[in-house]
Structure 1
Amino acid sequence: MTEPVPPREAPTGVDTGVPHSARIWNFWQGGHLFYEADRVAGEAFAAEVPEIRELALSSRQFLRRSVRWAVTEAGLRQVLDLGAGLPSEPNVHEIAQAADRTARVVYVDNDPLVTVHQAAYLDSTPQGATAYVHADVRDPERVLTEAARTLDLARQPTALVFSDMLGHITDLDEAYALVRRLVDGVAPGSCLVLSHTAPSSRLPALATANDHYAAAGGVPYLLRTPEQIAGFFEGLDLVAPGLVPMPRWRPDGSTLGIAADVGWGAVARIP
């Protein structure tokens, strides 16, 4: 069993007695940046939905494939990772810079524990650059202003990455408006990379486990239907194969074979 080994003293603003989604996600993905409350909550969730660990890993694999595609196939050299969460190998800048050493990557998050570990995001190839912005993604004006210190958002296309984080914005209209503002804030030719968890008749226990997690004090994550997820891409040009269960998005040899249609993802070009 993986044991938690986060900082001995929790940073200001971190309540180690309350489970936190980013730390539980790290636990499910085999990381070590979590506390005992996160392990307990993560194991309780997994007891109801044993597939959750595979789904968490599938999400990371989709992120890896989609960022690599954005750099190698779409020719983008800039990535803005929104609600980046805790470091998890390989990190987004490592994926992007492995494809192109000149890639520039900015991470955005407001979790104090993520900030403690931001050093993991700051190594870079000499030809590229990485930066971390401590900001709430729900403040897009600040996000764009701070990211522009590293990225040329107005003139160079950028990959906007929302990796399974929009479910934490429980008001759908607010979530749509946030994505639209950030899409409007980048140059034409940019891409939107987005994944989101959905309810599924194949995994009916997922919604129940999600409710139990929220009742335990965790930050709620709202499951959204594929139709609702598709709304984030309105007016954009979906890249084949479109919005699909994440394992079906351009699978490679490492793609997990998850049957349940739970995690959905897509990439779209921004006109």
Structure 2
Amino acid sequence: MVDRIRTDVAHNARVWNHWLGGKDNYPVDRAVGDHVTALFPSIGEVARADRAFLRRAVTHLTAEAGIRQFLDIGTGLPTAENTHEVAQRIAPDARIVYVDNDPIVLAHARALLTSAPEGATSYLDADAHHPREIVRAVTGPLDLSRPVAVILLGILNFVLDTDQARSITRDLMAAMPSGSYLVITHPTLELGGEGNVDAMAFWNENATPPITARSGAEIRSFLEGLEILEPGVVSCAHWRIEADSAQPPMVAQYGAVARKP
């Protein structure tokens, strides 16, 4: 596993950790992350809004929809308010499977993503490009006869072919029973994100994996056949804000939650 870790090339999980104020990153990650910030100053707000969206979505699914199983693909490095922490705070018996294929994420996840005793938390070293393999591997840790929330936060943007990204969501949700949910976020050049063009070009020349932005219409196509919850496909910063919270600034990252009929 050690020889898979590249410390000379910036990697998304570690740069994202840097943007969130973490310490699990290398100088190359900080250098690339800071340059991206110079090109697109709101990227830190995007990272924080994405994380807050996760908390709100998991809270809703656990407390309101009664979901007790979560498949979180593209986990990234652990930080505050991870999926299992939010879900098990409400339902200690919740079961969570995290999926990522970065060796540093794997090491940190095994050390830090510990479950409440009533539930279960496990980690799968797998690639989001191979959804059917993921489904086979989680059959056991998760009961696929009962509803599952599939979480794809900031991961489909690393699948450069839109048809393939659409196929990934279709294959994952085809394996889930009625009453399951799909939770996604995805960067866009809409919502004020036009300035992200140069930042993404720099990223693709200096970091891994390469990234792409998509329109709201393209992102809605990932949800075909599902019932999109209100308020629809919106800036993730504006999805179901708590009633007593101030209106946060819009970020160029779409977020949505949809239910399988």
- Does TM, scored on the shorter chain, surpass 0.5? yes
2:131 corresponds to 1:140: yes
Whichever residue aligns with residue 134 of structure 2, its letter is V
Please report how far the alpha carbon of residue 268 of structure 1 lies from its aligned counterpart in structure 2 after TM superposition: 0.5
Whichever residue aligns with residue 60 of structure 2, its letter is W
Q: Which residue of 1 aligns with 2:2?
A: 11
Q: Which residue of 2 aligns with 1:55?
A: 46
2:92 corresponds to 1:96: no
Contact 1:19 1:217 survives alignment (8 Å):
yes
Any idea what SS the aligned residue of 2:105 has?
helix
Structure 2 counterpart of 1:228, from 193, 215, 218: 218
**CA deviation vs aligned residue, 1:53-86 (integer Å, no higher than 9, x gap):** 0111000000110011111111110000011111
Whichever residue aligns with residue 199 of structure 2, its letter is A
Q: Which residue of 1 aligns with 2:202?
A: 212
TM-score normalised by length of structure 1: 0.92
Q: Please show how residues 1-271 of structure 1 align to structure 2 within 5 Å.
A: 11-153=2-144, 155-200=145-190, 202-252=192-242, 257-260=248-251, 262-271=252-261
What is the number of residues matched between the two proteins?
Answer: 260
TM-score normalised by length of structure 2: 0.95
Provide the C-alpha distance between the structure 2 equivalents of 1:148 and 1:187, rounded to a whole number of angstroms: 13
Whichever residue aligns with residue 31 of structure 2, its letter is V
Any idea what SS the aligned residue of 2:201 has?
helix
Whichever residue aligns with residue 157 of structure 2, its letter is G
Contact 1:58 1:255 survives alignment (8 Å):
no
Please report how far the alpha carbon of residue 12 of structure 1 lies from its aligned counterpart in structure 2 after TM superposition: 2.1
Q: Runs of 4+ in structure 1 displaced over 6 angstroms?
A: none
Please report how far the alpha carbon of residue 201 of structure 1 lies from its aligned counterpart in structure 2 after TM superposition: 6.6
Any idea what SS the aligned residue of 1:56 has?
helix
Please report how far the alpha carbon of residue 112 of structure 1 lies from its aligned counterpart in structure 2 after TM superposition: 1.0
**CA deviation vs aligned residue, 1:123-166 (integer Å, no higher than 9, x gap):** 1111111100111122222211221221101x110000000110
Provide the C-alpha distance between the structure 1 equivalents of 2:238 and 2:140, rounded to a whole number of angstroms: 36
Moved more, 195-204 or 70-79: 195-204
The change in CA–CA distance for 1:255 and 1:231 in structure 2 (over 3 A counts) is farther
Whichever residue aligns with residue 44 of structure 1, its letter is H
Unaligned runs of 5+ in 2: none
Unaligned runs of 5+ in 1: 1-9
Contact 2:12 2:208 survives alignment (8 Å):
yes
Contact 1:190 1:269 survives alignment (8 Å):
yes
Moved more, 113-122 or 186-195: 113-122
Please report how far the alpha carbon of residue 254 of structure 1 lies from its aligned counterpart in structure 2 after TM superposition: 6.0
Whichever residue aligns with residue 203 of structure 2, its letter is Y
Any idea what SS the aligned residue of 1:224 has?
coil
Contact 1:195 1:264 survives alignment (8 Å):
yes
